[in-house]
Amino acid sequence: MSKHCELTGKVGKAGRNVAHSNTKTNRRFDANLQRVHLQSDALGRSVGMRISTRALRSVQKRGGLDTWLLTTDDARMAPEALRLKRQVRKTLA
């Protein structure tokens, strides 16, 4: 299972733990991903995906998955989200 957000493409970052003795060890700061099912009114079904909690808050603030997909710029979306956006546009047209 990949560790990236399927809507925004957000991934983890690399960093270091620094101990009190100043020894440094590598670590990862993974994105906070949650498995959710979002309802798409245009498609008439729920879509299951792994998205970050930040993306989930953005979707809820905009009023749902369809609204988020249609109002967000393509450059800020992951390929999975672009596929969904094309499906939503096709059914609404």
What are 4-38's pLDDT values in tens digits?
999 999 999 999 999 999 999 999 999 999 999 99
Which amino acid appears at position 71 of this protein?
T
Give every CB contact of residue 7 below 8 A, 6+ residues apart in sequence: 49, 51, 52, 55, 59, 68, 77, 78, 80, 81
What is the tally of structural domains in the chain?
1
Task: Provide CB contacts within 8 A for 53, sequence distance 6+.
Answer: 32, 34
Instruction: Let me know if residue 54 belongs to a domain.
Output: yes
Mean pLDDT of the chain: 94
Residue span of the structural domain in which 43 resides: 13-92
Task: Give the domain CATH number at 26.
Answer: 2.30.170.40
pTM of the model: 0.83
4 belongs to a structural domain: no
28 inside domain: yes
Asked if the structure places residue 6 within a domain, the reply is: no
